[in-house]
Structure 1
């Protein structure tokens, strides 16, 4: 039986939550066992990942209702994906000298970002960073390793009390 507040994600792009199934996008590298996840492989780790907090673009919509802390994004927010940097897999303020990604994007993909508990307690260099739950592109094209849902679906699962996701290797 699935645990209340937790979603099950399958390699076929199914996001199962509270008896329903939604379409999701996954990493372009497919789903890999957690022990094989590496920085830059484009894969989604098969793992149980709690939802730590949610970030959102206040200029593009209201704060989502959530069971976890919600914080607005700022233009200088980023995330370090440089395995050689001491801030690896942590939020950073831009400008930032190490390799990173900007969280304030021109497209809508990061208008809502669920920070998932992947490789963060403790951080192991090179095991992958910035595994988020975020908005899918209109065509549901693959992500860089994240799990992505359509905007209405993401808002709905967050409001329904999502606590985390479990990505599985098989359906």
Structure 2
């Protein structure tokens, strides 16, 4: 393990010598992640992208990509673009990346079931802002706004996210 790895522990996410409080999926941790189960998948994942709302905050890192008004993330197992960024209009089930709430103002994308997604194995495993402390996610790892904004600029593409 490297100090540059993000390691999920029972007390939070250890990264760069600090433990950051976080929440995980309502389904707990799973070695057999499935779409809609609410679980956070076990394994070694990597940060492969960063998105941000340019109307709400400056770019947190030079490699961050602005979220546009038509940006969506496909979560439909029938969609050929399952577990990919897509644009509206989109005829399959999806999540809006540009939300009214601040939950996706800043998003780190993991390589869980990406780029060659296996339908039904789970989609959109992100690191993002939590709704509130101790409130579970649908499978992502979530942080307070301040902590996420401190973590994101220190992450780089390829940063390992270890979920045991």
- TM-score tier by shorter-chain length is over 0.9
How many residues get paired? Answer: 162
Match 2:75 to one of 69, 73, 81? 81
Q: How does 1:73-152 map to 2 (within 5 A)?
A: 73-152=67-146
CA distance in 1, matches of 2:7, 2:73: 26
Equivalent position of 2:27 in the other structure: 29
Q: How does 1:149-160 map to 2 (within 5 A)?
A: 149-160=143-154
CA distance in 1, matches of 2:153, 2:87: 28
1:13 CA drift (Å): 5.1
CA distance in 1, matches of 2:58, 2:160: 22
CA distance in 1, matches of 2:120, 2:128: 22
Equivalent position of 2:7 in the other structure: 8
1:165 CA drift (Å): 1.0
1:160 CA drift (Å): 2.4
**Cα gap change, 1:13/1:123 in structure 2, threshold over 3 Å: closer, same or farther?**
farther
Q: TM-score, normalised by structure 2?
A: 0.93
1:139 CA drift (Å): 3.0
Match 2:163 to one of 158, 162, 167? 167
Q: Which segments of 5 or more consecutive residues in structure 2 lack a partner in the other structure?
A: none
Q: Which segments of 5 or more consecutive residues in structure 1 lack a partner in the other structure?
A: none
Q: How large is the Cα RMSD of the aligned pairs? A: 1.4
1:159 CA drift (Å): 2.2
CA distance in 2, matches of 1:133, 1:17: 13
